[in-house]
Amino acid sequence: MNTSTLTINHIAEFLEDELAVHRFPADERGGVYHPSEQPVQRIGLALEPFPDLAKWVTEMDLDALWLHRPWQLDLAHLPNGVGVLAHHLPFDEALTIGYNTRLFEQLQASGSPEPLGYKQEAAKDKAPISERPIGMLADVTEQEFDYWLNCVKTLFGGYDRAEAGHNSSSAQFTNSKIAVVGAMTDALVREAAGRGAHLYLTGAYRKPGQQAVDETGIAVIAIGHRRCEEWGLQALGDLLQERLPVECVVHHQPQVVRS
């Protein structure tokens, strides 16, 4: 495939595999949101429509858009011929905090990620029930808690909350396994600790998991929902440019660093 023949349909087909959209109900799979047959050489990536989006599309000379939350998009203001792709849940689960193989690599983990927890979709019209991992366990080199705080700052630009658990901030963990999970419930925290993780990475710190944190002594770093999405947005751009003949322009909104 050369650049002149790449369309949003080709990009959608590529992302069907990369985001494993078959695991999701049909109405959650995403794909082509606004069709176009024009060649795509430059695609803009944004989490949602923003003021002056149409102006940005024109100034950046974009042929197409990808949006995480497209629902407020005013198609009437887009330049003619600009197609739109959109993925919501598949993006969240594959490229933010969860069973995220690209993040697994950036954590310099060894081996393969181990699924942790499952989200089960109810069967519809006699379709088989779909199970998707909510998170993963990663084998990493044993490090101090402060090392992981700095690692998260480097990867995500900060974090919302950090709890060292029963370990002091300068103490080394007794094993080398961390959990990366897209939710924080009592059951998930206990499962992570029970399977040997001494650090729980998640998006938002949730009160339902507090008792499990206190009783297991597991350390927690809550990165922040927006930071996770911004990381995923850049990861998506990198993925597309690595694998397809397309240039990606990523729109990042300013993030207030709280830590």
| pLDDT one digit per residue (tens) for the chain, 259 residues | 444 589 999 999 999 999 999 989 999 999 999 999 999 999 999 999 999 999 999 999 999 999 999 999 999 999 999 999 999 999 999 999 999 999 999 999 999 999 999 886 655 555 555 689 999 999 999 899 999 999 999 999 999 999 998 754 444 554 589 999 999 999 999 999 999 999 999 999 999 999 999 999 999 999 999 999 999 999 999 999 999 999 999 998 765 444 4
- pLDDT (0 to 100) of residue 122: 55
DSSP 174: S
Buried b (16+ CB within 10 A) or exposed e, 102-125: bbbeebebeeebbebbebeeeeee
Helix (H) or strand (E) holding 203: none
Cα–Cα distance, 53 to 75 (Å, whole number): 11
Strands 31-34, 83-86: parallel, antiparallel or unpaired by DSSP? antiparallel
Give all domains of the chain, ordered by start, each with its CATH number. 3-88+229-250 (3.40.1390.30), 98-222 (3.40.1390.30)
- pLDDT (0 to 100) of residue 1: 43
| Bridge partners, 114 (sequence order) | 137
- pLDDT (0 to 100) of residue 131: 81
- pLDDT (0 to 100) of residue 130: 64
- pLDDT (0 to 100) of residue 255: 55
Backbone angles phi, psi at 144, to 5 degrees: -75, 160
- pLDDT (0 to 100) of residue 18: 96
